[in-house]
A = this chain, B = another copy of it.
Amino acid sequence: MVARSHSSISSSIPSAFCDECTLSNICITHGVDSITKARLKTIILHPTPFQAGDYLYRIGNRLKALYIVKSGFIKVYVSTTYGEEQILGFHLPGELVGLDALGTNAHRCDAVALDTSRVCELPATKLSEICRLSPKIRRQLNRLMGRQLSHVQEMLLLLGKKSAEGRVAAFLLNMSARFKERGFPEYEFHLNMSRHDIANYLGLAVETVSRVFSRFQEEGLLKVRARNVQICDDVRLRQLVSGTSTKD
């Protein structure tokens, strides 16, 4: 049976200042010297938490700030004029949100909280100052953009080459790894997003996701109860991801 005390990732509340923050090891400020940290402290804001459904920013908004997720869960997506949406990612605590606007100074995505979410805010007006502060920070920003690029590229591989089963398996393993990084159970977690969101993210129909979940459960790879997932056979899941599927 799947435990039910899981929304835990939403209730982890790092303290307000970097040097005491429980996320510091995966945060942008990781490895920065204490002087710089002190100056960061004067720059970084801590706005009131976003509630589920609140937008951090919308498409077209001028870049106001970059956000580091402290707790909660952020969904980022693009939508076309015609109303189609494509979810680009789900952001967990420790991750930086808003980089999409660095190029044009205007956001090209929507970012919405799926859960009560606390964030640290790096005001855009202070960004160049932050970058001047230390080469370390510059490198960190580059690293984070690089990581984001890398993630999106993985997604391209997923959407371009993998079957429905491969995509869902990859998604679950990815979530698992990220929960683990954050000190949460690796093989038993709560998905904050709806099946609809998962389907959209993976380029599938809702029904297909549902069916794959069911099939995985039948085959003993998972135990699924609503949004609670327990991974029972990560080895086979990994095989499904790498397993060549369709085309090419």
Contacts and interface: CB of A to CB of B under 8 A. Distances in A.
Interface of A: 78, 80-86, 88, 99-104, 108-109, 128, 131, 135, 138, 142-150, 152-157, 159-161, 199-205, 242, 244, 247-248
4 tightest A-B CB contacts, nearest first: A103-B146, A160-B203, A159-B159, A86-B157
A62 to B, nearest CB: 14
A143 to B, nearest CB: 4
Given A86-B160, A100-B153, 6 more contacts: A82-B242, A84-B248, A99-B149, A104-B143, A108-B153, A155-B156
Contact of A146 (B101, B153, B248): B101
Contact of A159 (B78, B135, B156, B199): B156
Chain A interface SS verdict (over half)? helix
Contact of A247 (B101, B148, B205): B205
Nearest to A243: B82
Given A142-B102, A145-B145, A84 B156 contact: no
A143 B63 CA distance: 13
Number of copies: 2
Given A101-B146, A146-B100, A156 B242 contact: no
Contacts of A148: 149
A135 B131 CA distance: 10
Contact of A103 (B78, B144, B154, B203): B144
Contact of A242 (B81, B86, B144, B202): B81
A78 B158 CA distance: 11
B108 A150 contact: yes
B153 A109 contact: yes
Contacts of A135: 128
Contact of A149 (B143, B152, B244): B152
A111 to B, nearest CB: 13
A100 B242 contact: no
Contact of A200 (B104, B160, B203): B160
10 contacts: A99-B146, A102-B142, A102-B143, A103-B144, A108-B153, A131-B138, A145-B149, A155-B156, A160-B200, A199-B247
A130 to B, nearest CB: 12
B102 A145 contact: yes
A156 B100 contact: no
A161 B131 contact: no
Contacts of A160: 86, 159, 200-203
